[in-house]
Amino acid sequence: MKVLLVGNGGREHAIAWKLLQDDPSLELICAPGNAGLAEIAECIPVKPTDVRGLAAFAHRADVDLTVVGPEAPLAGGIVDAFHEDKKAIFGPTRAAAEIETSKRFAKSIMETAAVPTAHATHHRRADDAIAAANALGTPVVIKASGLAAGKGVVVAQSSEEAERAINLMLRDRAFGDAGEEILVEEFMEGEELSVFAITDGTNFITMLPAQDHKRLLDGDLGPNTGGMGAYAPVSIATPSLMNIVSAHVFEPVLAEMHRQGRPFTGLLYAGLMVSESGPRVVEFNCRFGDPETQAILPLMQSSLLDLINAVAEGASLAGMEPIQWSTDHAATTVLAAHGYPDSVRTGDGVRVPALPNRVYVFHAATTRDSESGELRTSGGRVLSVTGVGETIAAAVEGSTAHAERISFDGKQFRRDIGWRELERSARAT
């Protein structure tokens, strides 16, 4: 089987690793990949956003299945282009991907389908937005409606901070068209949880819930990032909570997407806020999360390839067995470059020592110098290190210890991944 994997992050390296575990004879091609992916797959220099180029490649190379990692190609209509050519691809159409690419659209779906979420209003004029923010009080959340690479959300602690964020988005157009419309949203208290569902558009199977660490620094301080680490399983995701998430989030949203003529197939990611009053949706993404994927795939015992292939081929997931998971724990630490998330420095030499047992390194922004063979940083999130163990403490220990041993100038990483779960497990014993 010939598989094309689109993307170049730690998420894609983890997906590639898992697909090859599922079928070692797989012929895997990545566009464009990274230095880690180049060790396990053929890499081709086609950009993820070059939808036409990717469709032409898949046609020419007779690719059997295409898997899309990042949201940008989905927003660019890669699935629509492959469908026109009758090629199998895993992911939502451009219209369905709007659940991530337009936060306003996501809110309207949730309102129509009565899905629990924060109250929000949408605005194109700064004066109206400021008035709405003042009416909500603080903290208040200001969000660009469009795709802003994880940077378009400000949790404002004061009305001055809210006004600054609104002016930055609507008057200074800091996020361009992505911020020409913004949401002013009620702040939700609670603990975050990421739940992925693989869906054929009607039926769905949830994956092992994970928790991301969005802030740059230990103690959940510093700026928001794409994600500095993750762990799974998460003990707040009890079977009864997961039943609520299925019945009150995934089922009504998938049904409403169908009703609106844009059925969602592929992977639907629900970012939740969990509090005593139950789970509420923070956001949806239309693809696997990064770094949650690097934490959960090493625990997945069922075949990811079979599931993805079934959905891409248009098969029904009705009656499908739940996914089998190892009873172990996994923790992922992201190593970021100097200056991340603002002004990233690239080109630093990277040394990755030999892997201890039950530790996995997934590359993200790495390249290999064609002359010296040296590994170098090439972007913000450089590598992720997943530790697996019988307890959350063992998983975190394996991940953190190896994150310490990997070296490059300017390396930034959190040493407190899984702190909430560690506290809970300490309390339980």
Residue ranges that bind ligand AMP, judged by CB under 6 A: 118, 141, 153, 155, 185, 187-188, 192, 214, 224, 271, 282-283
CB of 428 vs ligand AMP, minimal distance in Å: 26
Query: Where do we find the tokens 């930034």?
Result: 412
Q: Which is nearer to ligand AMP, 65 or 296 (CB)?
A: 296
CB of 89 vs ligand GLY, minimal distance in Å: 20
Q: Which is nearer to ligand AMP, 147 or 337 (CB)?
A: 147
For 156, residues 6+ apart whose C-beta sits below 8 A from its C-beta are: 133, 138, 139, 140, 141, 142, 162, 164, 165
Give the binding range for ligand GLY (CB under 6 A) out of 103-111, 118-126, 255-263, 286-294: 286-294
Q: Which is nearer to ligand AMP, 89 or 183 (CB)?
A: 183
Beta-bridge partner residues of 288: none
The helix/strand/coil state of 136 is helix
Which of ligand GLY, ligand AMP, none is residue 290 near (CB under 5 to 8 Å by kind)? ligand GLY
The helix/strand/coil state of 5 is strand
Which of ligand GLY, ligand AMP, none is residue 309 near (CB under 5 to 8 Å by kind)? none
DSSP 8-class letter at 178:
G
Q: Which is nearer to ligand AMP, 57 or 187 (CB)?
A: 187
CB of 136 vs ligand AMP, minimal distance in Å: 10
146 binds ligand GLY (CB under 6 A): no
CB-facing half-sphere around the CA of 342: CA atoms within 13 A: 3
The alpha carbons of the chain give a radius of gyration, in whole angstroms, of 21
Q: Which is nearer to ligand GLY, 105 or 288 (CB)?
A: 288
Which segments of 23-70 does DSSP mark as H helices, in order?
51-60
CB of 29 vs ligand GLY, minimal distance in Å: 23
Q: List the one residue from 212, 270, 297, 381 that touches ligand GLY (CB under 6 A).
A: 212
Residues 223-242 that bind ligand GLY (CB under 6 A): 227
Which of ligand AMP, ligand GLY, none is residue 33 near (CB under 5 to 8 Å by kind)? none
Which of ligand GLY, ligand AMP, none is residue 35 near (CB under 5 to 8 Å by kind)? none
Q: Which is nearer to ligand AMP, 53 or 222 (CB)?
A: 222
Q: Which is nearer to ligand GLY, 87 or 287 (CB)?
A: 287
CA distance 33 to 48: 10
Residues 347-376 that bind ligand GLY (CB under 6 A): none
Which of ligand AMP, ligand GLY, none is residue 41 near (CB under 5 to 8 Å by kind)? none
Which of ligand AMP, ligand GLY, none is residue 227 near (CB under 5 to 8 Å by kind)? ligand GLY
Which segments of 177-303 does DSSP mark as H helices, in order?
239-245, 251-259, 292-296
Read off the amino acid at residue 424. R
285 binds ligand GLY (CB under 6 A): yes
Q: Which is nearer to ligand AMP, 283 or 328 (CB)?
A: 283
Q: Which is nearer to ligand AMP, 50 or 185 (CB)?
A: 185
Pairing of strands 359-363, 329-336: unpaired
CA distance 211 to 70: 19
Torsion angle in degrees (nearest 10) through CA of 176, 177, 178, 179: 70
180: burial class by Cβ within 10 Å (0-12, 13-18, 19+)?
A: middle
Read off the amino acid at residue 390. E
Q: Residue length, the chain? A: 429
272: burial class by Cβ within 10 Å (0-12, 13-18, 19+)?
A: buried
Give the binding range for ligand GLY (CB under 6 A) out of 19-27, 162-170, 285-293, 358-366: 285-293
CB of 100 vs ligand GLY, minimal distance in Å: 9
DSSP 8-class letter at 277:
T
The tokens describing 298, both together, are 């090493």
- Number of residues forming the site for ligand GLY (CB under 6 A): 6
Of 216, 219, 227, nearest in space to 339 by CA: 216
Chain contacts with ligand GLY (rule: CB under 6 A): 212, 227, 285, 289-290, 292
